[in-house]
Amino acid sequence: MPETHHTFCRICEALCGLEVETDDGRVTAIRPDPRHVATEGFGCPKGLKQHHLLGSPDRLTEPLKRVGDSFEPVSWEQALAEIGAKVRSLVDTRDADAIAMYVGTAAGFSILHPIFAQGFMDGIGSTSMYSSSTQDCANKFAVAREMYGFALTQPFPDVERTDCLIVVGANPVVSKWSFLQVPNPSKHLRAIAKRGGKVYVVDPRRTETAKVATDHVFIRPNTDPLFFLSFLQELIASGGVDRERVERYMTGFAEIEKLVAPWTPERTAPVTGIAAHSLREMVKSYREADGAALYSSTGVNMGTNGSLGYWLQEVINAVSGNLDRRGGSLVGQGIFDFARFGKKYGVMSRRNRSRVGGFTSVNDAFPGAILADEILTPGERQVRALFVTGGNPLITMPNSARLRDAFRELELLVTVDVFLNETASMGHYVLPATSPMQRPDLPFVFPLFLGMQARPYIQATERVIPPHGQQRDEATIYLDLARACGVGLFGSKLAQTAVETARRVWGWRHPDRKHEVPQEWLMSALLRLGGEGNFSQLVGEKHGRLRAPHRAGDFLGDRCVTDDGKVQLAPSVLIEQADKLEADFSTERDAVGGFRLITKRAVTTHNSWTHNYEAFLDGGRDTNHVYMHRQDAARLGLESGQYADVVSATAAVRLPVRLLDDLQPGTVAVPHGWGHQHARGLSVASKTSGVNVNILAADGADGVERVSGMAHLTGIPVEIRPADGPADTTSWSGLPATA
């Protein structure tokens, strides 16, 4: 019977409110919800077509086991029992840390998935956790832990009220914003300009966001920390520091003054490519605005100095008086004080060291870029088994070719996914998960627990369609895996028994869902903790429930959870790390004139997993390209459509050239998330001819940012060579297999 449901999208951070039509357990149409309290009828092609993507015949519907060279369906009982036995034998004969887990982006978009996955790993007693955050944002967590006392204290620009927004290395018009929920970014950015404010975009490409901004400033890739240093130097020199506020709420300013003094705009200009007068004008706009904020994202995070860059940005927002100020940058409030709770109970605050490279964990996770070494290096705690949950590391992590070799050595590789993706294709067991429309949910941790939203609201959704075949939600999968491995969730037999008992009670009331963890009850408990009533009440408010608007002025001196309650402007790990700035400056100066490789996202792609739908590939979108400026192409004798080899210190890939004059000359861009030719379970994507750009990025301890463990995925030095032979579209790199 046809029905209409109200729910919200859980593909990206915009969490758009949706109206969904279903019939006979299938989604038949998706529209944006025009009456949604915050997203107000916004949506994008990926979200509105997700039923085609996720309703594909390729969707996993039963657990699979590798037998010889193929995958065969097995029962849940068999899969769980065999995985459990293998895990127990590895723990007994080796070490709990021999069992690793990689938590991918999709896991973050379900409230219970990461909690249960962590509970499972804690149960086993393993600390070998990895996540996609060392590909996109671990620098922000590492810096916040030092400056604000809690990794998830993440200030964000007050986009609804700011008069000057400076966006560095982010493209919210395409990516829909990160570390902040802003539905309809173009509209919000245009509104700033309309009220007489300024929007600067600092980016090596004149992006879709730059085109709606008031000003675009080109920057040479990987030089953002130098830009921030000069920004801060100029801010201080021009009297833009709110000394009273600094004195009262912050410590370490003297060290900052000393650090930035030599970095005048004139000194950095030849390296960043930002003329001193442009930089001064930007600082002037920032100072004179009635509320201003600097915001940066993956373009800065994925450089070689993501932690230094983000730290300097936060220092600028803080010392200028814009932190915790209306129109400046705000620290949101979720349904409860997560920072205080997290600090008190030590949530995600381990500081253990990795075996390889001695990296300190960030949010309890180690750098993904050392995972191959952790698998390949013999010794105690050597990784022998890997669970991959909602991610596709083989495509998205650095030096994927080496990672592939490492994965071949694993005794057990289990993926929990909606598809048999490239990583799963190498695995031993593939466990079929429900997709967002098939599970009840709350907004994920940033909006719900931290209020990281332009307009605060909460929402709950029932599942819109039931699981098909043997698909199960991840909370249930990890509860049952814990039992199969003979452990309790979070190492607590009591927690395990409590959830299992609740499931039994739930099963009496919902016989059709009796194997499931009572997700709705658990989410009710979370909501009650925050005084927000229960789950079904919130579901009843189908267009979302607005919460109190952000109040600036309640973070500093109150909700900052550092030991002395003050913002730490000069944490010692960052001051020490800053010692390398001079050397890096010289390196960058010497590199001027060479090519740098950057990233580029498209509205119809989402990292590695939205190429399995024909409509998203139409019109020449069935491959990625190397984008270059016409001048650069001409210099190399290349034309649009010709092939070129992109060569880094690690590897080479071969791609067709596309001219893009929005790029700063000297910069080339290659979209990531391609290279599906060997995916076993993606019938559409496996026929595309794109290549995996991440085989160009370095891995290993030397390739990793020291403070946060971030991989280096943008601003990579490369050479471009016109390719003589035709591309081999079946090889991972696009190069003939012998190359």
Chain residues in the site for ligand SF4 (CB under 6 A): 9, 11-12, 14-16, 43-44, 46-47, 176
- The whole-angstrom separation of Cα 537 and Cα 693 is 46
The entry of Mo ion, ligand SF4, ligand MGD, none that residue 447 binds, CB within 5 to 8 Å by partner kind: none
From the list ligand SF4, ligand MGD, Mo ion, none, which binds 603 (C-beta under 5 to 8 Å, kind-based)? ligand MGD
Residue of 460, 249, 232 lying closest to 335 (CA atoms): 460
CB 419 → ligand SF4: shortest distance, Å?
A: 17
Judged by beta carbon, residue 96 or residue 657, the one nearer ligand MGD is: 657
Q: Which two tokens stand for residue 229?
A: 């240093």
Work out what residue 175 binds among Mo ion, ligand MGD, ligand SF4, none; the CB cut-off runs from 5 to 8 Å by kind.
ligand MGD
Query: Which residues lie closer than 8 Å to 570 by C-beta, 6 or more apart?
Result: 251, 252, 253, 255, 256, 259
Nearer to ligand SF4, 174 or 348 (CB): 174
Beta bridge partners of 433: 472
Tokens coding 111: 């409230």
- Minimum CB separation from ligand MGD for residue 94, in Å? 26
Residue 174 interacting partner from ligand MGD, ligand SF4, Mo ion, none (CB closer than 5 to 8 Å by kind): ligand MGD
> What does 647-711 look like in DSSP terms, one character per residue?
E-SS-EEEEEEEE-TTBPTTEEE--SS---TT-SS-TTGGG-----GGGGS--SGGGB-TTT--B
Cβ-proximal residue to Mo ion, closest one: 136
Q: For 291, which DSSP code?
A: S
| Cβ proximity of 440 and 523 under 8 Å | yes
Considering the complex, what minimum distance in angstroms separates the CB of residue 115 from ligand MGD?
14
Which of ligand SF4, Mo ion, ligand MGD, none does residue 666 bind to, with CB < 5 to 8 Å depending on kind?
A: none
d(CA 254, CA 559): 24
Pairing of strands 429-432, 412-417: parallel
Q: What is the largest CA-CA distance in the chain?
A: 72
Of 19 and 136, which CB lies nearer to Mo ion in the complex structure? Answer: 136
DSSP string, 54-123: HTSTTS--S-EEEETTEEEE--HHHHHHHHHHHHHHHHHHS-GGGEEEEE-HHHHTSSSHHHHHHHHHHH
Q: Residue 43 binds what, of ligand MGD, ligand SF4, Mo ion, none (CB under 5 to 8 Å, by partner type)? A: ligand SF4
Residue 240 or 436 having the CB closest to ligand SF4: 436
623 binds, among ligand SF4, Mo ion, ligand MGD, none (CB under 5 to 8 A by kind): none
Residue type, 456: P
Using CB under 5 A as the binding rule, the residues of this chain from 248 to 307 that contact Mo ion are: none
CB of 13 to ligand SF4, least distance (A): 7
Which of 225, 443 has the CB closer to ligand SF4?
443
What's CA 544's distance to the chain center, in Å?
25
Outline where 542-677 has alpha helix (H): 572-577, 581-591, 630-636
Of 575, 710, 662, which Cα lies nearest the Cα of 173? Answer: 662
Q: Are 173 and 149 in contact (CB under 8 A)?
A: no
For residue 266, the minimal CB distance to ligand MGD (Å) is 20
Which partner in ligand SF4, Mo ion, ligand MGD, none is near 328 (CB below 5 to 8 A by kind)? none
Q: How far is the CB of 607 from Mo ion (least distance, A)?
A: 7
Instruction: Output 108 or 149, the one with its CB closest to ligand MGD.
Output: 108
Partner whose footprint covers residue 723, from ligand MGD, ligand SF4, Mo ion, none (CB < 5 to 8 Å by kind): none
Q: Residue 681, class by beta-carbon neighbours within 10 Å (0-12 exposed, 13-18 middle, 19+ buried)?
A: buried
- Residue 24 φ then ψ, to 5°: 55, 45
Between 212 and 487, name the residue whose CB sits nearer to ligand SF4. Answer: 212
Q: Give the pair of three-digit tokens for residue 556.
A: 């500093």
| Alpha helices per DSSP H over 510-577 | 519-529, 535-540, 572-577
Q: How many residues line the site for Mo ion (CB under 5 A)?
A: 1
Gap between the Cα atoms of 408 and 412, Å rounded:
10
CB 17 within 8 A of CB 544: yes
Q: Contact positions toward ligand MGD, by CB under 6 A?
A: 12, 104-106, 132, 135-136, 168-172, 174-176, 178, 202-205, 207, 219, 221-222, 224, 297-300, 303, 389-393, 396, 416-419, 421, 433, 435-436, 474, 598-599, 601, 603, 605-609, 672-673, 693-694, 713-715
* Region 109-138 residues binding Mo ion, contact defined as CB under 5 A: 136
Measured from the CB atom, is 178 or 382 closer to ligand SF4?
A: 178
Nearer to ligand SF4, 410 or 602 (CB): 602
436 contact, one of ligand SF4, ligand MGD, Mo ion, none, CB 5-8 Å limit per kind: ligand MGD
Q: How far is the CB of 441 from ligand SF4 (least distance, A)?
A: 13
Nearest partner of 460 among 523, 414, 411, 408, judged by Cα: 523
Q: Name which of Mo ion, ligand MGD, ligand SF4, none residue 104 binds, using a CB cut-off of 5 to 8 Å depending on partner kind.
A: ligand MGD
- Shortest distance (Å) from residue 117 CB to ligand SF4: 22
Residue closer to Mo ion, measured from CB, 162 or 607? 607
> Measured from the CB atom, is 9 or 727 closer to ligand SF4?
9
- State in angstroms the smallest separation of the CB of 396 from ligand MGD: 3
Between 121 and 560, whose beta carbon lies closer to ligand MGD? Answer: 121
Which residue, 426 or 458, is less far from ligand SF4 as judged by CB?
458
- Which residue from 164, 271, 175, 178 is spatially nearest to 228, judged by alpha carbons? 271
Backbone dihedral region for residue 690 (phi beyond 0: left; psi -120 to 50: alpha; all else: beta): beta
In the block, tokens 């229960």 appear at 534
Between residues 43 and 432, which has the closer beta carbon with respect to ligand SF4? 43
Q: Which does 333 bind (CB under 5 to 8 A by kind): ligand SF4, ligand MGD, Mo ion, none?
A: none
Based on its alpha-carbon atoms, the radius of gyration of the chain, rounded to whole angstroms, reads 25
Round to whole Å and give the CA distance between 134 and 697. Answer: 13
Q: How remote is the C-alpha of 226 from its chain's centroid?
A: 24
Which residue's CB is nearer to ligand SF4, number 8 or number 535? Answer: 8
Minimum distance, C-beta of residue 679 to ligand MGD, in the bound complex (Å): 10
Residue 324 interacts with, from ligand SF4, ligand MGD, Mo ion, none (CB under 5-8 Å by kind): none
Instruction: Give least dist CB 678 to ligand MGD, A.
Output: 14
Dihedral sign (CA 555, 561, 563, 567): negative
Q: Which does 14 bind (CB under 5 to 8 A by kind): ligand SF4, Mo ion, ligand MGD, none?
A: ligand SF4
Sign of CA dihedral 22, 23, 29, 34: negative
Q: Which is nearer to ligand SF4, 15 or 418 (CB)?
A: 15
Q: Is residue 473 near Mo ion by the rule CB under 5 A?
A: no
Instruction: Identify what 461 binds: ligand SF4, Mo ion, ligand MGD, none; CB under 5 to 8 Å per kind.
Output: none
Neighbouring residues of 116: CB distance < 8 A, sequence distance ≥ 6: 474, 475, 477, 478, 479, 489, 517
Structure tokens at 465: 């369609």
Instruction: Enumerate binding residues for Mo ion (CB under 5 A).
Output: 136
